[in-house]
Structure 1
Amino acid sequence: MDNQIEWKVRGMTCTNCAMSVDKQLKSLGLQGVEVDFMQSVVRFQHTTNDHIPLQKIQDGIQGLGFKVENAGSNTAAAKESLTEKLLGTPFKRFIACLIFTIPLWLHMVVQLPILHQPLFQLILATIVLVIGLVYLGRSAWHSLKSKVANMNVLVILGALAAFGYSLYGTLTGEPEAFLFYETSATIITLVFMGNWLESRTVAKTQASIKSLMLQQTVQANMLTYAADGSEIVFQVLSEDLKVGDLILIKSGELVPMDAKILSGEGDVDESILTGESLPVHKGKGELLIGNSQLVSGNLKAYISATGKDTVLQHMLRLVEKAQHQKAPMQLLADKISAVFVPVVLGLAALGFLLNYFIADAGFTSSLMRAIAMLVIACPCAMGLATPAGIAVGLGRATKKGILFKNAHALENFQKIKNIVFDKTGTLTTGKLQVDDFNHTSTISESAFKQILFNLEKYASHPLATAIMQAFKPTSKPHPANGANAPTQISFAKVEEIKGEGMRGTTKDGVQYMAVSARKAKAILAAANIDKAADSQNDPIQLIEPHHHIYLLRETEILGWVSFKDTIRPEALPTIQTLKNAGFTTYMISGDSEINCQTVAEQLGIDHVYSEQSPEQKQMAVRKIKEEAPVAMIGDGINDSPALAEATVGVSLGNATQIAIMTADVLLIRNGIGSLPLALGLGKHTYSTIRQNLIWAFAYNVVALPIAGLGLLSPSFAALAMGLSDVVLGFNSIRLSWKKVC
């Protein structure tokens, strides 16, 4: 049996850290390994056939210098040591080191004798070095053991070199030329400061996702019945509810879990998921989203989903999955990061040799320059470039009701040139309304409406629903009173003509049918209706395909009804925005050509494919994709093949389950109105990632020669290294408010 294991792992600070954990787990033969250093999460598949105890896996991770927090083992459950309590966070470590480093800085500006004593400086620097070795040194050692060296290797080598050189000067009695204790302490202190600033930056990029994840545990009113039929209400925690439990939701209360209304009606605030401020009115049979709020009314409902099966948790898993996936641009950065530390070590050694033997800079100066080269190099920036941009892009998208299932979709959006829309349910509401109707002189309007209503009330298709809404009687029939009495027709039997319409038979055996234009023609043709000399009076010739339903009495046409599908209010401005941005628009629909052309003309869509089967839709998208990358927006089962075929498939939040599963992107609110924002976020997230990577590469390319030429001291190199990640993080955070469409 397969189990998805997810552990929180502390201590991962860069891509190289994640690589070492990834390599360790894969060396054990584990499948589905995912390591996300930004969220400090490790995931893998663990099966009963693996024969690898979880304790062994955990020990392997902790053997690399990281801490597994929630594995449920004795090690994870152990109490925090005093060191962990005092120095368990980057901020605490930074403050502790800063306290002992400041006096080392003061000796350069304050003439206090004790500050200039080598022994005093040795004690202070040793304390800072020990803290650095406990955290940074341990991480560096374990990364070397795993053969994926991380940035701490460079930091510790630089700090040890400065400390060792100073210690040599102290022991030999030549402190003036050798005293660089402040350099050793400063390197470690500023690296801890950089870690702290970086953790804050990463936390900000995660903020919008985390705010959505704070699903509260609420009190629920559970409902049961006594033997005498009386109701019993008692309170339980929402996490204790099971599917099928009956609950009572009162005005102002939160819906504890996904539920279906059994009785009552009220207004529900679903802004937690949709972001819409206006409450939605709901009644019997409708679904309630967990953690939405009942603004008014009282409802009885039964639990339809709990825990990870709820709508909110499903959406959150999509976002989490997208966050820990690597975009294509990250792969190159990962490859470079894997060899970065050895290359920097080689360059620092080369820099020392060149400065000492060729530039004749002297041993001390050459060593300081080599230390500066070690310290200023920053593989973290390359590892953070893509995840930071993606996290902010996904966070903003989530707040706006746009869910990206994978990082590839976010990156691929910047390539899109063609936009393909389904019609019904995407550009239109999918809610049909009676557009026009007509009846012959042989029947009154009221009788025409009454017959259609009594036939269609037994059907469930959208046309029947529209007829029932339009022709619903406004008052009860009154007794016959002569010529003014309305015609009353009742049916002894009503049946559905599969795929064609409805048929009703009165007690007198008279047959009425509400059927499609095609079926009406077939009925008249089969009855051998004589054609009139004047073709204009030929009943068959009078049938027009854009009249959707014809009412027949036996073989006599009594009238027709046509329908219209209202266009979504956001469709026109969305299409105009996309066209102004240079996108080419298409509509692909299974509806008739006349209906498709009407909608296309109203919206200004460039190209139309009508009367398309699901296979034809897929082929059309494939053909369009050959010209340029394409995004397909659809909501039905018949759109699924085309969604899968597109460069990026987009579906709506109220789409069919298979369309939601097939699509790469979900527009939860505003229908297609969120599409320009989604496209803009894709484009600008890509450009932000590109800027981050350019910064990361350029920083190292420029910084290493500057340090090697002696233009940067090791202390300033440490500060620059820490701030480089912060610059990158703030560039990513800019995406939170940047105008993207």
Structure 2
Amino acid sequence: MADAIQTRYRVEGMDCASCAAKIDTAVRRMPGVEDVSVSVTAGTMTVRHGETSDLATIAKKVVGLGYSVSEIVGKDTANPAAGHQTACCGGHIHGSHAHPEHNHSGHDHSGHDHSVQAGNSGTEGLHGHDHAPSAGPWWAGRKGRLTILSGAALLTAYAIGHLVPSIAPYAFIAAMLIGLVPIARRAVMAALAGTPFSIEMLMTIAAIGAVIIDAGEEAAAVVFLFLVGELLEGVAAGKARQSIQSLAALMPKEALLEENGQTRAVPAESLAVGASILVRPGDRISADGIILSGESDIDEAPVTGESTPVRKGTDETVFAGTINGDGVLRVRVTAAAADNTIARVVRLVEEAQESKAPTERFIDRFSRYYTPAVVVVAALVAIIPPLAVGAAWGEWVYKGLAILLIGCPCALVISTPAAIAASLSAGARRGLLLKGGAVLETLGTISAVAFDKTGTLTEGRPKVTDIIGFDRSEPDVLSFAAALETGSSHPLAKAILGKATEEGLVLPAAAEAKALGGKGVTANIEGQPVFFGSPQAAGERVALSAAQMERITALNDEGKTVSVLIIGATLAGAIAMRDEPRADAKVGLKALKDVGIRTVMLTGDNRRTASAIGLQLGMEVRAELMPEDKQRIVGELKREGLVVAKVGDGINDAPALAAADIGIAMGGGTDVALETADAAVLHGRVGDVAEMIALSKRTMGNIRENITIALGLKAVFLVTTIIGVTGLWPAILADTGATVLVTINALRLLAPARSAG
């Protein structure tokens, strides 16, 4: 559909895969709808549709299934609570419908007919879900109240049965109907929307059948246990949803804006790019930005998981949601509230949760055939023994009804998305952004990782590694060189000035400073001419001895850039610099090798420098490569039968990132890094690549456990039901119990894991 557009909704009340499946099926059948993606954990639905699609009718269809819905307008996607603010229980859309001609801004709703509200449409309580924000207590929601009412009715029926046995059957039927009526209404609405074999329909058939065969007491108990199971599913789903929503809660509500020499408090969401804000000690930083002045320890644990505060000063980057330590900072805002690192991570994780993994797609297809097959098997169990061998109808109909409940596919269907959603959320909290279940699955099969060098394996900026005093002391060499470089923005000059600041040196005054293109810089210091530049240019001024040249050559062989200092007519010393490996690079690469993953460096840098870094890190090196060469080598590795991940900065490595099975962007959450790759290591730790792969393996192991729980419990109860050991009560536990166990098992992935290496 050439003119297809995309609209996202916040959907309240979803808490299991069955909910998502009903919504998906119903909306997919609407006119003009091309595709639908529903995420239980994120509580969102994305619809691809034509320009003429009636979005109000789509919303009403979802409301008819018992959920509330609100459109996520513009960049509100970044705020998981946005839907809570605009949701109407009837699902009326308070906002733009993504059509220029249908804009509700400034629309007066005071006299508006809310005919699609749940209460007015006759659908109030239809799904039995709590439509209030998930932060409320379980007992305060509609689902909690219904469960409590059903339980109270069941206890009352038992009391009446004990006091007046003759009316006990009627008391249990009444207790059953309190819980069953909303379940049955949901079943009918789901069937009309295209999902006839829903858990609600199977539950309704089983309960009514139990009454018909004079098992009203069990029917009432089964309905109550079903509601308890659904309530537990909702609580578990809420915890999974909160794991990513809690990221958004890190954002402060207010910021101190500096304007015209004055400071005033403003809403953090109103900050514009380029604005200057003041961050006091102990305050949470309200926006992504660059430090204009000040120095402080920044606690980045809420965003990056780093246990130790990071010392940051002028020109360094800070993230929204992190906590300022002991200093006052002035920060220039670099991203609006809807586009800061936290907001983008939340938005991209929500979108990733709507993307189904291969395993999840397979189980979805399997369940489409599995559920009708269970209905057929249950019917055959109920009918064949009485017809074929004259067995008692009541006994075998009872067993058929139990099998109907045992066969419900909820636990099986949720086994994969629950684990994947938990992993995506857990990864995001540690700065590991994975764009969907397919990426998460593939990562666990990676057998080779190709790394870019500059900015990926290394810091991306040179550092002073060696200071050599030939005729003057090392502090003199550094202070004179720094005096010459004062005011320069060249990366090598910044490295020297940074080292001088670190050493606490007092720099001499430099006069008549002048840059010599391609050679170095000169100035007068303390009455003497001073030169600082390349060894070749220095050789034109003074003679370098064989020993001095040998020392400089040795440093060059280590991949270091060497500049020499001449004071007067004497070679005073030299300074060597190199873009050093990241602090965790060696440990991170070892973590990959320890699990049998091959590592290779692909870089456009010169062979000597690349080989020196490669030797230091203990990895294979391919150097002096063009972007197309990197792409070719990735292809060669794949042809060797390896599953290849490419780690780079997402810009000059784009061809190789695209060619790899998984492209991983390394960096601080830039737009390019987040948008171009399959995954992103937001906080620049090489060790996080190994952690990402380990997370994938833990997730796939969790999925296998979930499938075993789901199918294993069903198999056990199927056998015990047929041989007459268990009945309807254990049957419903086999379904809702397995669903709760699977969800709780998946939530274990939210717990912090031991870091790789």
Query: TM-score with structure 2 length normalisation?
Result: 0.79
Give the stretch that moved more between structures: 617-626 or 681-690: 617-626
Q: Secondary structure at the match of 2:51?
A: coil
Q: Distance in 1 between matches of 2:499 and 2:630?
A: 33
Quote the residue 1:100 is aligned against. Answer: 153
Quote the residue 2:37 is aligned against. Answer: 34
Q: Which amino acid aligns with 1:421?
A: F
Q: Distance in 1 between matches of 2:295 and 2:752?
A: 41
Quote the residue 1:155 is aligned against. Answer: 203
CA RMSD in angstroms comes to 4.1
The aligned runs of 1:456-605 (5 Å cut-off) are 460-469=489-498, 474-475=505-506, 477=508, 490-491=512-513, 493-494=514-515, 496-497=517-518, 502=520, 514=533, 546=557, 548-549=561-562, 562-605=576-619
Q: Which amino acid aligns with 2:56?
A: Q
Cα distance change on mapping 1:586 and 1:387 into 2, 3 Å: same
Quote the residue 1:483 is aligned against. Answer: none
Aligned with residue 680 of structure 2, among 649, 666, 686: 666
Q: Which amino acid aligns with 1:462?
A: P
Q: Which amino acid aligns with 1:632?
A: K
Q: Distance in 1 between matches of 2:12 and 2:397?
A: 34
Q: Secondary structure at the match of 2:462?
A: strand
Give the stretch that moved more between structures: 573-582 or 379-388: 573-582
Aligned with residue 18 of structure 1, among 20, 38, 41: 20
The aligned runs of 1:286-325 (5 Å cut-off) are 286-325=316-355
Cα distance change on mapping 1:401 and 1:258 into 2, 3 Å: closer
Displacement of 1:435 in angstroms is: 4.0
Q: Distance in 1 between matches of 2:648 and 2:714?
A: 45
Displacement of 1:243 in angstroms is: 3.7
Q: Which amino acid aligns with 2:654?
A: S
Contact in 2 for aligned 1:275/1:400 (Cα 8 Å): yes
Q: Which has the larger radius of gyration?
A: 1
Cα distance change on mapping 1:577 and 1:288 into 2, 3 Å: closer
Q: Distance in 1 between matches of 2:217 and 2:600?
A: 66
Q: Distance in 2 between matches of 1:322 and 1:303?
A: 28
Displacement of 1:511 in angstroms is: 13
Cα distance change on mapping 1:589 and 1:366 into 2, 3 Å: same
Quote the residue 2:655 is aligned against. Answer: 641
Give the stretch that moved more between structures: 69-78 or 262-271: 69-78
Cα distance change on mapping 1:410 and 1:446 into 2, 3 Å: closer
Q: Secondary structure at the match of 1:577?
A: helix
Displacement of 1:552 in angstroms is: 11
CA deviation string 1:482-508 (max 9, x = no partner): xxxxxx8845x53644xxx657799xx
Cα distance change on mapping 1:311 and 1:398 into 2, 3 Å: closer
Displacement of 1:337 in angstroms is: 1.9
Contact in 1 for aligned 2:250/2:302 (Cα 8 Å): no
Do residues 358 (structure 1) and 372 (structure 2) align?
Answer: no
Quote the residue 2:136 is aligned against. Answer: none
Displacement of 1:429 in angstroms is: 2.7
Quote the residue 1:608 is aligned against. Answer: 621
Quote the residue 1:66 is aligned against. Answer: 67
Displacement of 1:706 in angstroms is: 4.2
Q: Distance in 1 between matches of 2:271 and 2:440?
A: 36
Quote the residue 1:144 is aligned against. Answer: 191
Give the stretch that moved more between structures: 679-688 or 584-593: 584-593
Q: Distance in 1 between matches of 2:335 and 2:239?
A: 32
Q: Distance in 2 between matches of 1:433 and 1:104?
A: 79
Cα distance change on mapping 1:699 and 1:516 into 2, 3 Å: farther
Q: Secondary structure at the match of 1:236?
A: strand
Q: Which amino acid aligns with 2:598?
A: T
Quote the residue 1:209 is aligned against. Answer: 244
Cα distance change on mapping 1:412 and 1:576 into 2, 3 Å: same
Aligned with residue 184 of structure 1, among 201, 205, 219: 219
Q: Distance in 2 between matches of 1:76 and 1:282?
A: 54
Cα distance change on mapping 1:121 and 1:182 into 2, 3 Å: same
Displacement of 1:325 in angstroms is: 1.8
Cα distance change on mapping 1:471 and 1:338 into 2, 3 Å: same
Do residues 198 (structure 1) and 233 (structure 2) align?
Answer: yes
Contact in 2 for aligned 1:90/1:193 (Cα 8 Å): no
The aligned runs of 1:426-465 (5 Å cut-off) are 426-436=456-466, 460-465=489-494
Q: Distance in 2 between matches of 1:300 and 1:467?
A: 25
Quote the residue 1:372 is aligned against. Answer: 402
Q: Which amino acid aligns with 2:707?
A: L
Give the stretch that moved more between structures: 384-393 or 302-311: 302-311
Q: Distance in 1 between matches of 2:186 and 2:574?
A: 79
Q: Distance in 2 between matches of 1:609 and 1:140?
A: 61
Displacement of 1:242 in angstroms is: 3.6
CA deviation string 1:426-481 (max 9, x = no partner): 3333332344577999x999998788657755753433333445679955659xxx
CA deviation string 1:205-258 (max 9, x = no partner): 344323223244523333333xxxxx4433333234444444333222222333
CA deviation string 1:530-549 (max 9, x = no partner): xxxxxx99x99x98964735
Q: Distance in 2 between matches of 1:183 and 1:424?
A: 68
Q: Which amino acid aligns with 2:408?
A: C
- Count residues with an aligned counterpart: 686
Q: Structure with the greater relative contact order (CA < 8 A, sep ≥ 6): 1 or 2?
A: 1
Q: Percent identity?
A: 28
Q: Distance in 1 between matches of 2:732 and 2:752?
A: 31
Q: Distance in 2 between matches of 1:302 and 1:469?
A: 22
CA deviation string 1:157-185 (max 9, x = no partner): 1111122x1xxxxxxxxxxxx53111221
CA deviation string 1:333-352 (max 9, x = no partner): 10122233322221121111
Q: Distance in 2 between matches of 1:159 and 1:621?
A: 59
Q: Secondary structure at the match of 1:20?
A: helix
Q: Distance in 2 between matches of 1:382 and 1:444?
A: 72
Which sections of structure 1, spanning at least 5 residues, go unmatched? 166-177, 226-230, 479-487, 525-535
Quote the residue 2:142 is aligned against. Answer: 89
Contact in 2 for aligned 1:100/1:125 (Cα 8 Å): no
Q: Secondary structure at the match of 2:461?
A: strand
Q: Distance in 2 between matches of 1:422 and 1:252?
A: 37
Contact in 2 for aligned 1:621/1:642 (Cα 8 Å): yes
Q: Distance in 1 between matches of 2:463 and 2:9?
A: 53
Contact in 1 for aligned 2:441/2:696 (Cα 8 Å): yes
Cα distance change on mapping 1:399 and 1:217 into 2, 3 Å: closer
Contact in 2 for aligned 1:459/1:502 (Cα 8 Å): no
